[in-house]
Structure 1
Amino acid sequence: MVTWLAWRTLRWHPGSLIGTWVTLVVAATAVAALWFVVDTTDRRQVPVERYAGVPLVAGTAGGGISPALVASVRSLPEVGAAVPERSFPAGLSVHGRPVRVPGDQNAWPWGHGWSSARLTPFALRDGRPPLARDEVVVDARLAAAARLGVGDRVEVTVAGTIRTCEVVGVAAARSAWRYQSALFFADGHVTELLGGRRGADALGVFPRPGVGTQALRAAVARAVQPYNAPGLPVVSVATGADRGEQENNFPSPAGFNTLWFSVWITALISTGMIAAAMGVSVRRRGMEIAVLRAIGARPGQIRRMLLAEGVSLAVVAAAVAVPLGMLLAPAVAARFRDFGAVSVAFEVGYRPAPMAGTLALALAMALTANLISVRRALRIRPGDALAEAPAEGRTLGKGRLLTGLALLAGAGALSAVLLSDLFAPDGPALMGLQFATLGLTVSAAGLLAPWGVLVAGRLVRPVVARLSPVSGHLAAAAVVFNHRRYAGAVASLTLGVALVGVVTGTQLFYDWRVAAQAVRDVRADFVLRPTPGAGALSEVLRRRVLAHEGTSAAVGIGSMPAAVSVEGRPAAREPLPPASVTLVTGDLTQVLDLPVRGRPPRDLGTDEIAMSDALAARAGAGLGSRLRIRLPGTAQDSSFTVTTIYTATPEVGLMLLPAGAIAGTHLTSNLHERIYVRGADPGEVVDARSAVESLTRQEYMWRKSEENAARNRLMPYLSVLVALFCAVAAVNSLCLALVDRRREFTGLRQLGMRRGRLAGMACWESVLTVVPVLVLALAACAWLVAVQAASEPGGLAGTLSFIPFGWLAALGGGALAGTVAGSLLVIRGVMRNNRQEMA
């Protein structure tokens, strides 16, 4: 009986449930598209290209394989040969024109020593191997793209310097080679290009005859174990498909958890939107439900009827959403590819698991939303069979108003705490407080939005009546009197738009904050950096800039991870996590504002180290403390004395070492991540073709802001996704509310009101509903951004620049356009039905 009633409702009253079905389809389509991408990411395997010619690779990053480790592996009885490999970005140009191969993961080719070519699928097709300093072998893809042959001259850019080389050979791959390009140099020349570094990035290992891969792996793993400090696994061993991870050609799935988060947050928000749509459907069928109660239907029967409707709608919606999700998934993957969460090699796969998961999640969303909406249905009394329909003019419940005001008061209290500077600028407590303030502000805006529309309608009612005496007057009266009808739509739209404004505005503020803090510490006039993908800058370039007339300082810095411990620190205390060590060439205090205690950093000896105050406080160390540092690629700790403690800054790591302290090791000390310059513009020295950026302090600030925004752009886009769901639900609710008013529109027509004025009335109602929402969302965003900006010197001056007017205008304009278009379609459909009934 219950199933029959549900089927009759779906068959004879499709208009009352079409809005719910549309919302379900939209939600399930988004979930399906995201799920296909995440499922493929789950099963992703990085293709093996560069190491296709060797069964085992011991890999690392930053030259962490020392000559001692290479000798140790070669001495193993299971090993037939061990070939070290060094990889580095090497730009290729012909007559000043950079050579690019479409489809490469990186903008630049990878440079290698020729001895490591045996690890790859490459073999000489033309010419001979490189033997001299300025000779190079190019892969066949590069040669085809640039129309190169043996004997041609090319420009090679490495670490900010340009060298002219002769092409002495062309190498062709025997297997798939699709996502990277290769240049091969003489091994001695590679050492020169890398600033004298003797360490390797990877070690390809071949077994002796008769030794299996697993036995080889176990032996090599034992050999590399001493080089992996606790908490700092520098060297990893890979065989089979895992070799692709060692190529460092594709980004690791660091954004993977974020991708799963996007699936679940989409499902959570969708449940709320579906519940709102189902609530509208239940409200529209209040008389029908009251009649069922009056003729003896029990609450359990009403509940089962509505749940059966939800299941039916979810199954049909999933059947439509899964194919739509399959069509949408490549576009989602392309967007994630732009974010760097997936690689260029990523291709969406379609397995049954996401399809079944989408169906299950659609059922779960529909049932959860139905249980929420059923509560309203069960509050309808049998005696309300005739009274429920005209009850739209009732005011909203006080509970919602009091809850919204309480949340608003809580947000104000937390804002006062944020303004009191009780927390460290970058502490986890401060971040938690800011997230709580954000959540309370957005939630309060959503709950109080209907009263905002009511107040705004009363204020602008005289103005609208003057502008449009008939349509505008009736629309303002309807919005004021029937504001309860618009509560669900207004709350959904306010929640979505306010969330986008607050999240995006907060992100803009933090982008500025990161850049402002960095520049605040920079005393240099210019900063040299390699362009993205270009690797590092050479010591040759730093010396050339320093020798330029008018330059007073040129300081280079590089970094590497290290395991750190304090001698004499109780073993029971929590061990220190790996920390970054900054290698400095030059007097850092000339180019950075670096308050210090103890000896100036420029006076550090080879066995002395500087430590940030943040690390010193965590380690319980001070001036004179002895630190044990394990640098990458070493099997023993080195001992250093802390002679300097400096104020932490984003520009340098937690520890400082003079580059000369490791000059005799296999580690790189003559390559720099940045060069700070005081004095003349280094752009006069730097070759424009050398892939080096010369930035002023202000340009450096904006570049840091852009980079921070690029790293964190996924959250604003997720908030936009949530806002789109909210907008769809709001437009759906507003249009269904118009369908409920068929009798009202018929009566107005019988009183002589023209169709144009009726359409104008619907458009005015859309404006009077959506515009106050935008104002409320803008106010919430401005308030939260102003509170955050007040915590930073100079932040309040740029408050307006942190408000995402463009995002808010686009979302609000889209919601307004959708509401107006939907309203006009509903009015047109109602008028057509009236003409048919009259006929």
Structure 2
Amino acid sequence: MLALALQTLKSRAAGFAGTFLALLLGAAVLSACGILLESGIRAGSPPERYAAADVLVTGRQDLELSLKDVDGSATKQSQPLPERVPLRASLAERIGKVPGVRAVTEDDGATVRLATAAGRPVPGRHGSAPQAHNWSGLGLGDFRLSQGHAPRTAREAVLDVELAGRAGVRPGDTVRLMTASEPRAYTVTGLVALDDGRAPRQSVLFLTGPGLRQLGSTAYAFGVQAAPGTSPGRLADALRSALGDDGLTVHTGDGRGRAEFLDVAVSGSDLTVLAGAVGGNVLLIAVFVLYATSALSVRHRRREIALLRAIGTTPGQLRRMLAAEAAVTGLVAGLLGCPLGLLLVHWLRDRFAGHGIVPPDFALALSPLPFLAAVLVTVLTALVAVLIAAMRAGRIRPTEALGEAAVEPAGLSRGRRVTGGVLLALSAGVFVTGLVQHADFLTLVGLANSLVLLLVIAGAVLGPLLARTAVRLLAPLLERTGVTGHLAAANSRANVGRLAGAITPLILAVSFASTVVFTQTTALRESSEQIHAGLLADHVLTAPAGVSPDLAAKARDLGQVAAATGLVKSKVVAAGELMGAQEAVSLSAQGVDPRALTATLDLRTREGDLSSLSRDTVAISTTAASWLGLGVGDTARLHLGDGTPFRGRVIAVYGRGLGFADITLDHDLLLAHTTQKADTSVLVRAAPRAHGLSRALTDLAAAYPGTTVRSGLTADDQLAEQRANAWVNYLVVGVIIAYTAITVVNSLAMTTAARRREFALLRLSGTARRQVAGMMRKESAVVVLAGVGTGTLLSVFPLLLVALALGGAPWPAVPALGYTVIAGALAALATVGVMVPTRLLLRIRPVEAIGVRE
């Protein structure tokens, strides 16, 4: 069978081109997703400040929650913590008592904002804020003093060489540092550099212990030196046994780098989820696409299969031959697709970095495993698709085979009718359920996702019925356009199965692409509207690296100000519930001064009273209420960004969580549990008949380098994460359209190429070349109108549920340009797939074309 399969592939290379291209693209995308997945799991960077520590003890940067599954059984899930977990200084004494410990060094840190003496802000490397550390911890890493001397007083600092170069300072110059208060002047006494001379990954500066404590430092790690004769591995085991604290983590080797660079660890966790989601969508689309191309290939080989059955080939032998062809095609495509995946993953990494999903210097982990998995999945996908497509051909009895091959099967089989009917009934049930439960956000989103999948599968199963319906509607119009229209209508009626094979991929692409893209546009529209409608503040003070928290208090003291509050952003972790099972969820959180909350923000209260917010209470969005199953008066059990447990009574449920945050807490409470200890912005509400407020705020902001005064919040301030998520979904849509392009062009090109005898007969009977071309243009118009129209119709229902979930009204945001791009691109591809082969076939003399074998 393998030899026969190879011979068939050689003789029908053109017929397998579409399948091969689909498999090639699938292997490339799957291998790229595999590399991203492995890179997310193994995310890390070589240690710098902790490179000289044998063992490092830090707080545990992920939170493990005990949850219940659907059946009530206990399970555990973890979520990464976005804020650094602080440690108690007394921990050093416990560590020092562990056998094998020679020395313990505390590493204290604070996030600072640096400015020159002239007031020019100087961001850290890669745009992040510089980190200040205690000079006594210098020996934990690879930094060495290269110029000047160590800091000796609380107002002296040592900068790394790269940061000092960008700031334009050298020993003896003055810089200004900010944390929670006004900028303070520090004298630069020296510069440090890494031993190998490279620039540090994160900009750092060092101060004395008292100087660092004035900036509000926190103990983030303890570096441990092993006694002579004690290996780092043995010491780490001893520390884990002695400390016995689930809130602590002991690191050695590369783990020290993951502990040092929290952004790499957090983005690695996000990348793991993202790669799995993209890979899953690609695999789902690949199955649909490959089934369509395989079914078309088998349909075009009906006569060949019929002859094989007539000469005694058993169904098993037939399936083995087709499976061997698919396996060879999948193997070759997989092997060639993996190098393309390597190029693709580097392009994706750069795009992810540009959208802030991963750091700019995020390193990819390369191993043979993703490539082996991609090849295996590609081969298995090809086998599954071709075997499903060949089931009907293998069941034909030899005596019926030639008759089956000579005439295209009429109508749908009973099995497909029943299956399609069941799918439509399920789709109707899901849609009605969504309309009835429109107040439940999670239910609606889950139902919308299920609905589009059910409708697409139903469309594929009932493809011939949809094609027949389209012909009934469009044929009368075609017949009014002359001879070519009459021929196109007659061909469409007589070859419904062929038409369905061309329409189905278009339905798949339009429905999936429209649902994914317009879900994002609807979410962004709703978020933007919530921001504009919910902001009551007249002025907003903001800075790229954050705003000092005392700025809000100073703004509040201005006579023209009625209310002012700092707005701090973070995340919280909680146990949510979906479809009867609990899972760990990460929710956006904001901290606002309760005294100014209702004066500066209108979060659209649905239940309760936002004015009751305090350090012991919490307000939640309708989304969070749905996730957590909470209402007014219930107790919310949350974990703040640094893992600190929080228990608070829910005092309000509000509707503008998309524009602001899912959880609203007391400002000072949330600020204390963030790493940067800085506000994202300051919201200011003017007093009645206030004059000169803008000028007064500008003068106030001038004392804080980099701070600007705006008239409102912008979408870029609030929606950066949503825009990044939208871009990822647009990437998925791009893959869907690319896959569909292969299927549409391949199916239409193969179908058109198989009609060379028909074209020859038409021309020999007196039909002109332009008339044949006109007939094909009108047939392609039927395909485009039916495919794009049906796909658009199928996407309407899930989008209605999405709009209800996001905004409470059944009006999704469908930009005309976006829809035109999706529909226009697919329509153009379909037309090219028909007309290019038609033009080529019409160049062949009719006498020569009619004698060509099938």
Of 54, 63, 66, which aligns to 2:88? 66
Of 488-497 and 644-653, deviating more is 644-653
Distance across 1 between alignment mates of 2:643 and 2:735: 45
Match of 2:814 in 1: 803
* Pairing of 1:739-818 with structure 2 (within 5 A): 739-790=753-804, 795-796=809-810, 799=811, 802-803=813-814, 805-818=816-829
- Equivalent in the alignment of 1:541: 551
Contact 1:10/1:17 (8 A) holds in 2: yes
Write the mapping of 1:252-271 to structure 2, written as runs, cut at 5 A: 252-271=268-287
**In 1, are the aligned partners of 2:330 and 2:382 still within 8 Å (CA)?**
yes
**How many aligned positions are there?**
799
TM-score of the two chains, using structure 2 as the length reference:
0.80
CA-CA distance at 1:546 after TM superposition: 1.4
Cα distance change on mapping 1:503 and 1:623 into 2, 3 Å: closer
CA separation of 1:144 and 1:302: change in aligned 2, threshold 3 A: same
Question: Are the equivalent residues in 2 in contact too, given 1:131–1:186 (CA < 8 A)?
Answer: yes
Asked whether 1:29 is paired with 2:20, we answer no
Q: 1:120 aligns with which of 141, 157, 172?
A: 141
Amino acid at match of 2:390: V
The more displaced of 121-130 and 753-762 is: 753-762
Structure-2 change in CA distance of 1:693 and 1:507 (3 Å): farther
Is the contact made by 2:48 and 2:142 (CA closer than 8 Å) also made in structure 1?
A: yes
Distance 1:387 1:338, change over 3 A: farther
Query: 2:563–2:685: 8 Å Cα contact kept in structure 1?
Result: yes
Identity among equivalent pairs (%): 27
Residue aligning to 2:106:
83
Distance 1:200 1:342, change over 3 A: same
Q: Which moved more, 1:244-253 or 1:774-783?
A: 774-783
Secondary structure of the structure 2 residue equivalent to 1:201: strand
Alignment partner for residue 311 of structure 1, among 327, 330, 334? 327
Indicate conservation of the 8 Å contact 1:471/1:761, yes or no.
yes
Q: In the superposition, relative to structure 1, how do residues 255 and 722 fare at CA in structure 2: closer, same or farther (>3 Å)?
A: same
Structure 1 Cα separation of the partners of residues 583 and 288 of structure 2: 44
SS at match of 2:270: coil
Matched with 2:225 is 206
Query: 1:730 maps to what in 2?
Result: 744
The match for 1:414 among 430, 439, 459 is: 430
1:609 to 616, 641, 644: 616
1:236 partner SS: strand
Aligned match of 1:322 in 329, 334, 338?
338
What displacement does 1:499 show?
0.8
CA contact (8 A) 1:475 1:762 kept: yes
Cα distance change, pair 349–788 in 1 and its aligned pair in 2 (3 A): closer
**1:500 Cα offset (Å):** 1.5
Correspondence 1:250-289 to 2 at 5 A: 250=264, 251-289=267-305
Residues 148 and 424 of structure 1: CA distance in aligned 2, closer, same or farther (over 3 Å) = same
Contact 1:288 1:385 in 2 (8 A): no
Q: Which amino acid in 2 is paired with 1:803? A: V
1:369-448 equivalences in 2 (<5 Å) = 369-384=385-400, 386-392=402-408, 394-397=410-413, 400=416, 403-404=419-420, 406-421=422-437, 424-425=440-441, 427=442, 429-447=443-461
Q: Residues 202 and 832 from structure 1, CA distance in 2 versus in 1: closer, same or farther, beyond 3 angstroms?
A: same
Cα distance change, pair 211–625 in 1 and its aligned pair in 2 (3 A): same
Residues 450-474 of structure 1: CA deviation (Å, up to 9, x unaligned): 555554455455655666x454553
1:552 aligns with 2:575: no
- Please, which runs of 5 or more residues in structure 1 have no aligned partner? 566-573
Distance in 2 (CA, whole Å) between partners of 1:32 and 1:631 is 34
Looking at structure 1, the residues matched to 674 and 389 of structure 2 have their Cα atoms a distance apart, in angstroms, of 65
Q: CA–CA distance in 2 between the matches of 1:352 and 1:586?
A: 55
- CA deviations over 1:228-284 (Å, ceiling 9, x no partner): 5xxxx3x43322210111122423322313313433442343233222222212111
Given the superposition, is the C-alpha separation of residues 59 and 105 from structure 1 closer, same or farther in structure 2, using an over 3 Å criterion? farther
Q: Quote the residue 2:202 is aligned against.
A: 180
Q: Find the residue that maps to 1:179 and give its secondary structure.
A: coil
**Deviation (angstroms), 1:712:** 5.4
The structural deviation recorded for 1:62 is 4.1
Find out whether 1:678 has 2:690 as its counterpart: no
**In structure 2, distance between residues paired with 1:584 and 1:491:** 52
| 2:731 equivalent in structure 1 | 717
**Per-residue deviation, residues 499-556 of structure 1 (Å, max 9, x unmatched):** 111122223333445566677765544555553xx2x432321122213342111123
Answer yes or no: is the 8 Å Cα contact 1:496–1:726 preserved in 2.
Answer: yes
- Inter-CA distance 615–259: structure 2 relative to 1 (3 Å threshold): closer
Distance 1:149 1:466, change over 3 A: farther
Listed one character per residue, the Cα deviations across residues 313-333 of structure 1 (whole Å, up to 9, x for unaligned) are: 223323432333333332233
Structure 1 contact 501–804 (Cα < 8 Å) conserved: no
Deviation at 1:184, TM superposition (A): 3.1
Q: Hey, what does 1:485 align to over in structure 2?
A: 498
Match of 2:69 in 1: none
Aligned pairs for 1:595-674 (under 5 A) are 601=612, 609-612=616-619, 645-647=651-653, 650=657, 656=665, 659=668, 671-674=678-681
Q: How far did 1:223 drift? A: 6.9
Cα distance in 1 for residues equivalent to 2:703 and 2:840: 65
Q: How does 1:178-257 map to 2 (within 5 A)?
A: 178-193=200-215, 197-208=216-227, 211-214=230-233, 216-218=235-237, 220-221=239-240, 225=244, 233=247, 235-247=248-260, 248-250=262-264, 251-257=267-273
Shift of 1:734: 1.1
In structure 2, distance between residues paired with 1:576 and 1:30: 29
- Contact map agreement 1:63 1:199 (CA 8 A) in 2: no
| Alpha-carbon distance in 2 for matches of 1:128, 1:149 | 12
Find the aligned partners of 1:124 and 1:198 in 2 and give their Cα distance.
22
Q: Does 2:159 align with 1:138?
A: yes
Structure-2 change in CA distance of 1:652 and 1:33 (3 Å)? closer
Aligned mates of 1:300, 1:633 — CA distance in 2: 59
Match of 1:570 in 2: none
TM-score by length of 1: 0.81
Query: 2:256 & 2:760 partners in 1: Cα distance?
Result: 72
Amino acid at match of 2:617: A
Match of 2:18 in 1: 19
Give distance in 2, aligned partners of 1:201 and 1:286: 70
Find the residue that maps to 1:552 and give its secondary structure: strand
3-state SS of paired residue (2:17)? helix
- Alpha-carbon separation, structure 1, partners of 2:626 and 2:324: 63
Structure-2 change in CA distance of 1:620 and 1:828 (3 Å): closer
What is the distance in 2 between the residues matched to 1:631 and 1:316?
48
One-letter amino acid of the structure 2 residue matched with residue 609 of structure 1: D
In 2, the alpha carbon distance for the partners of 1:38 and 1:383 equals 52
Number of the residue aligned with 1:569: none
Amino acid at match of 1:35: G
Q: What is the aligned counterpart of 2:518 among 505, 521, 526?
A: 505
Q: 1:738 to 1:95 in 2, by over 3 A?
A: farther
Instruction: Write the letter of the residue equivalent to 1:8.
Output: Q
For residue 202 of structure 2, what is the amino acid of its counterpart? Q
SS of equivalent residue, structure 1 residue 64 = coil
1:55 has 2:36 as partner:
no
- Tell me how far apart the structure 1 counterparts of residues 362 and 470 of structure 2 sit (CA, whole Å): 50
Q: Is 1:511–1:708's contact at 8 Å kept on the other side of the alignment? A: yes
**Structure 2: distance between partners of 1:589 and 1:759:** 68
C-alpha root-mean-square deviation of aligned residues, in Å? 4.5
Distance 2:616 2:445 in 1: 32
SS in 1 for 2:219: coil
Is residue 110–residue 217 contact of structure 2 (8 Å, CA) maintained in 1?
no
- The superposition leaves residues 579-615 of structure 1 with CA deviations (integer Å, 9 ceiling, x where unpaired) of 999766561444445879799647x6xxx72255889
Equivalent residues in 2 for 1:83-122 (5 A)? Answer: 83-92=106-115, 104-122=125-143
Is the alpha carbon distance of 1:395 and 1:686 closer, same or farther for their aligned partners in structure 2, counting shifts above 3 Å?
A: farther
